[in-house]
Amino acid sequence: MAALGSISRRSFLTGRDDQPVRRLLPPGVAEDGLAACTGCGSCVDACPTAIIALVAGKPSLDFLAGECLLCGDCATVCPEPVFDRAVPPAFAHVVAISDACLARNGVSCMSCRDACPPMAIAFKPRIGGPFLPQLDEAACTGCGACIAPCPAQAIAVTPISMEPAHA
């Protein structure tokens, strides 16, 4: 599978970019609501952490630029019915920590835990190595605060698991 941002030889030679646009939606926006977006950019200007950008004319979040405060300013200024204003701002994703995590590879690091406002990432002690990260999906808001500080880029967003947890 091609990496995000790469282009196939055929697409390069024909001048087309056949890759689908991948975007992280602001809190309270669903794919069907995105159709109402006119691309005015009001949400971009209203975001206090400047993590919203227009990608192909629609809003997308960049957690490498910062975190979402879940303040709702983007929804407040939006003139179209893009945001679900009936519920508090929330994401349909949480974060996931991959095997590229430094702690999982023998290097002591807790930068994600230190950056997590809801304290959804804890570190479990283990014998013979650094503490290992454990994510509490129920506590994770999906704000992305842990993504940029990760020196190994081992944290990414993933859809919320709808399966019940096994005891």
Fold for 23-90, please state it.
Answer: Alpha-Beta Plaits (3.30.70)
Domain ranges of the chain: 23-90, 93-159
Is residue 116 part of an annotated ligand binding site?
no
The DSSP result for the chain, as a single string, is: -PPTT---HHHHHHT---SPPP-PPPTTB-HHHHTT-----HHHHH-TT--EEEETTEEEE-TTS-------HHHHH--STTB-TTS----SEEEEE-TT-TGGGT----HHHHH-TT--EEEE--TTS--EEEE-TTT-----TTTTT-TT--EEEEEPP-SPPP-
Tell me: is residue 109 an annotated ligand-binding position.
no
Please list, in sequence order, all residues whose beta carbon lies within 8 angstroms of the beta carbon of residue 136, skipping any fewer than 6 positions away.
120, 121, 122
Using one digit for the tens of pLDDT, what is the confidence trace for 17-69? Answer: 555 557 899 999 988 889 999 999 999 999 999 999 999 999 999 999 999 99
- The sign of the CA dihedral 47, 50, 53, 59 is negative
Name the class of domain 93-159: alpha beta
101 appears as a binding residue in the annotation: no
93-159 and 23-90 share a CATH fold:
yes
What is the pLDDT at residue 160? 80
Residues in CB range of 137: below 8 A, 6 or more apart: 94, 120, 160, 161
Annotated ligand binding at 146? The verdict is yes
For the stretch 110-141, pLDDT in tens is 999 999 999 999 999 999 889 999 999 999 99
Q: What is the pTM of this model?
A: 0.80
- In sequence order, the β-bridge partners of residue 157 are 95
